[in-house]
Structure 1
Amino acid sequence: MASSLPDHASLLAELKEVRRAGLVRLRGRALPALESAAEAVTGSASASDSASASAPASASAPAFAFASASGSPGAAVEALLRLAVSRLDAGTLRTAAEYTLGLAQGTRDWPASSRRTRAASVYGVSVERFRKDHEVMVLGQVAEHIVRLVPRESGTPRTGEDEWSAGAHRSVQVLAGDRQVRLTLHVHPVDLLRDVDVVVSPVNVHLALPEPYKSSVAASLRRAASVRGVTGDVLDDPLHDELRKWAARHGTAGRAVLPGTVAATGSGALAAQGVRRIYHAAIAVPRAGTNDYDVLPADVTRSVSRALALLAEESDRHTPPLRSVCFPLLGSGRGGLPYRVSLAAVWAAVEAELARRAPWDVHFVVRAPEAAALVERIPAGI
């Protein structure tokens, strides 16, 4: 097994090289991060096969691919890419990744320009827009799944089953003021939430939601809240439309709101899952001339305090009253805050509210096992 684990940035840089070169031209290219990851996952798959040799034949296709590719770095890298892409959400994201990297049937020898053109058509955007935005997002998602697949230092692979082994819903007992309070931790995508009255969603200070095909919390909620026809076409985009109305009503249309502002909307189709309100927390400040954002922990804390105050204002206007609220780790995505920093900023406001005996049922929703572990350690101090 490789002595050091490849990081996301190194993997992303090499994925861009794979995109340029194509699968048929990988031989002889220096791809140390991808080769290290492939070696680690190959070793893990081989160990798993040996341990289950006496079990009925049910080995996965990816494990077989790694076993057969063990003698060729290029083949092992290709097998790793196929495994990582298979973990992506089915649909536009996975299809675009397959075309981008030449994994789609019949495309492994296509020139980079042809693969990019086909991938752009998946999203219905121009090639240039795809190059600047979607392609970076797609390759970033592939890199993220490779990181999850690489075994930990203990030698245990980061499989999907491992990430979910502790359960998708967990309770955490914490001391708030002079009383014990139960938090609920959800370790799954935000759009799978059920029966939580309010979900807090990060947004930029222009209250502009990301496109629904993206992978962020805000994009996932926008996608899940949309009303679709029998063919899958979007008939109504309520979160986007209600945010525009909110901005017009408060005189902020066309300009940024102050960081920490919270705009409340309905939940669209999510109402069928028991989610009744979405609180959009404006924490991300676009950095001029880039696609990046700046997020300050103080603004995260301010937005959480405002969301809880808004919950108190709105609660009794609904039947039954609003009582539960769910927070992601605000600012830990494109905002760039480390999980620990984001959690500390969120918890500072939540703990203060619970300490004054507020009646709210507080939930956290995360995807990464590392983030879940941090939430579970709140009682011991973040």
Structure 2
Amino acid sequence: MATPLPDYASLLPELKEVRRAGLVRLHGRSLPALESAARAVTATAARTPGAAVEALLRLAVTRLDAGTLRTAAEYTMGLAHGTRDWPASSRRARAASVYGVSVERFRKDHEVMVLGQIAEHIVRLAGEPAGVTARTAAGEWGANTHRSVAARAGGRPVRLTLHVHPVDLLRDVDVIVSPSNVYLALPEPYKASVAASLRRAAATHGVTGEVLDDPLPGELRAWAARHGASGRAVLPGTVAATGSGALARQGVRRVYHAAVAVPRAGTNDYDVHPADVTRSVSRVLAVLAEERDRHTPPLRSVCFPLLGAGRGGLPYHVSLAAVWAAVEAELARGADWDVHFVVRTAEAAELVERIPAGGVPVHGPGPAG
């Protein structure tokens, strides 16, 4: 006889227990309803019960509407980036800030609603036919690689576009921002970075794949010569504008190389400071304004990767906060730029989707409350 699936009433008290304990303290706790649902929903053969429950919670929360509800749920359960070991009081305080209410009001009202929504989605997941949930989870991001994100900047509504795919697949965006080091030296085209991908996409290739033209390095050298920077480092935050080479066939008209990475002496590593990322984004928008009317039609759209989040080592949320600080300031002044973000991972995409809720995390756990 098949084990009956858990219902809402049995799940809710266990979700409250997980909220109190946190994900790092699930081991050894009795959570029969959640574990039963996890067995029905996730592939648990190689997982501990705690890991299976966490996977179930993550899947259920991804089913919530993007925005305040999902963001509050992630903080409440410790699923948001960097919060799994936060104490319950800090997670509750951060979730309350998403809704702009006091901790006490959140505890009595919003938190009950958030946990109830998670429970409802777990019930739905457990009732889906075998295999459907796994396929849905695997394809959730790949099936929707272009998203519109409604946000606010300085009190005015703005709309962002989120791309979840490799940067060289972008189409019909006037300007793509490419992260660079302060020597404006491009990586080899066979590498996996954003800058290498754009160099490769901008090149012209023959029928057998041979490179016929590799325009970006030459244009950067010419830019450096014009600005007296040949053979030396520029200041972090400098932006060099070049053509787009073969990317023009995809509707990309300019590449702006943002110098954010400073080589660390004696190593192959780089240092990237968030303040330099913010300065470079401000400069990108200034150069865009300078160049806009030199083109027909005028330049209007610009796409940002998470600058410094690759070899520079910045966590996604730190990079996004640094980029958004400059973008938000520009949009709040009334600029009508069409702003895009391009990311590769679901984790990074979820961070961009938190922008409408004011949920770009820039600090660690707040004080207990």
**Structure 1 contact 262–282 (Cα < 8 Å) conserved:** yes
In 1, Cα distance between equivalents of 2:45 and 2:346: 22
Q: Give, in whole Å, the separation in 2 of the partners of 1:160 and 1:191.
A: 23
Q: Give 5+ residue unaligned stretches, structure 1.
A: 5-39, 46-154
How far has the Cα of 1:274 moved from its partner? 0.2
Structure 1 counterpart of 2:307, one-letter code? L
1:41 CA drift (Å): 7.8
Deviation at 1:179, TM superposition (A): 1.6
CA distance in 1, matches of 2:354, 2:228: 42
Q: Which amino acid aligns with 1:304?
A: V
**1:288-367 maps to which residues of 2 (within 5 A)?**
288-367=265-344
Kept in 2, the 8 Å contact 1:267–1:276? The answer is: yes
Where does 1:1-382 land on structure 2 (aligned, <5 Å)?
A: 43=45, 161-165=139-143, 167-381=144-358, 382=360
When residues 250 and 376 of structure 1 are mapped into structure 2, their CA distance, relative to the original with a 3 A threshold, is same
1:178, distance to aligned residue in structure 2 (A): 3.1
Structure 1 position 342, deviation (Å):
0.2
**Corresponding residue SS for 1:215:** coil
Q: What amino acid does structure 1 have at the position aligned with 2:280?
A: S
* Maintained 8 Å contact 1:175/1:181: yes
After TM superposition, give the deviation of residue 156 of structure 1 in Å. Answer: 5.8
Q: 1:378 is aligned with what amino acid?
A: I
Paired residue type of 2:286:
A
Distance in 2 (alpha carbons) for counterparts of 1:44 and 1:196: 44
Query: Counterpart amino acid of 1:212?
Result: P
Does the 8 Å CA contact 1:44/1:156 hold for their aligned counterparts?
no
Q: CA offsets per residue over residues 193-250 of structure 1, 9 Å max, x none?
A: 0000000010000000011001100000000000111221101111111001111111
TM-score normalised per structure 2: 0.61
How far does residue 43 in structure 1 lie from its aligned partner after superposition?
3.5
Asked if 2 retains the 8 angstrom alpha-carbon contact of 1:41 and 1:157, the reply is: no
Distance 1:158-1:214 versus aligned 2 partners, 3 A rule: farther
Residue type at the aligned position of 1:193: L
More relative contact order, 1 or 2 (CA 8 Å, 6+ apart): 2
Report the residue type matching 2:284 in the other structure: A
SS in 1 for 2:222: helix
Q: 1:156/1:270 Cα in 2 relative to 1: closer, same or farther (>3 Å)?
A: same
| Unmatched runs of 5 consecutive residues or more in structure 2 | 1-22, 25-41, 48-132, 361-369
Q: Which residue of 1 aligns with 2:56?
A: none
Taking the aligned partners of 2:172 and 2:210, their CA distance within structure 1 comes to: 26
Identity rate of aligned residues, in percent? 77
List structure 1 runs of 4+ shifted beyond 6 angstroms.
none
Partner of 2:101: none
Root mean square deviation of aligned Cα:
2.2
Distance 2:135 2:45 in 1: 10
Name the SS of the counterpart of 2:207 in structure 1: coil
> Secondary structure, in 3 states, of the residue corresponding to 2:178?
strand
Aligned to 2:68: none
Letter in 1 for 2:174: D
Deviation string 1:257-284 (CA, Å, 9 cap, x unpaired) is 0000000000000000000000000000
Q: Distance in 2 between matches of 1:316 and 1:242?
A: 21
Distance 2:315 2:208 in 1: 40
TM-score when normalising by structure 1: 0.59
CA 1:169–1:261 in structure 2 vs 1: closer, same or farther (change >3 Å)?
same
Deviation at 1:162, TM superposition (A): 4.0
- In structure 2, the CA distance between the partners of 1:182 and 1:44, relative to structure 1 (3 Å rule), is farther
Match of 2:67 in 1: none
Whole-Å separation in 2 of the counterparts to 1:200 and 1:158: 32
Q: Distance in 1 between matches of 2:151 and 2:46?
A: 37
- SS of equivalent to 1:344: helix
CA distance in 2, matches of 1:42, 1:192: 35
**Alpha-carbon separation, structure 2, partners of 1:180 and 1:269:** 35
